[in-house]
Amino acid sequence: MRPERLRMARDHKNLKQTQVMTYTGINNKTLSGYEKGVSEPDTETLKTLANLYEVSVDWLVGNTDDPTPRKETKDFTPDAEEIKKILASLPSDKRKYFLEQISILAAGIRAMEKKE
Q: Rounded to an integer, what distance in angstroms lies between the CA atom of residue 47 and that of residue 89?
A: 24
Cα dist from 41 to 1, 32, 49, 109, 112, whole Å: 9, 11, 10, 23, 26
Give domain limits for the chain.
3-115
> According to the 3-state scheme, what is the secondary structure of 31-56?
HHHHHHCCCCCCHHHHHHHHHHHCCC
User: Looking at residue 73, what is its pLDDT?
Assistant: 46
Rounded to whole angstroms, the Cα distance separating 15 from 49 reads 12
pLDDT in tens, 80-104: 888 888 888 888 888 888 888 988 8
Q: What is the pLDDT of residues 13-42, one digit of tens each?
A: 999 999 999 888 899 999 999 999 999 999
- Distance (Å, rounded) from C-alpha 80 to C-alpha 67? 18
Rg (CA), the chain: 14
CATH architecture of the domain formed by 3-115: Orthogonal Bundle (1.10)
pLDDT computed for residue 92 by the predictor: 83
Read off the pLDDT of residues 36-86 as tens digits, 9 standing for 90 and up. 999 999 999 999 999 899 999 999 999 988 888 765 545 567 788 888 888
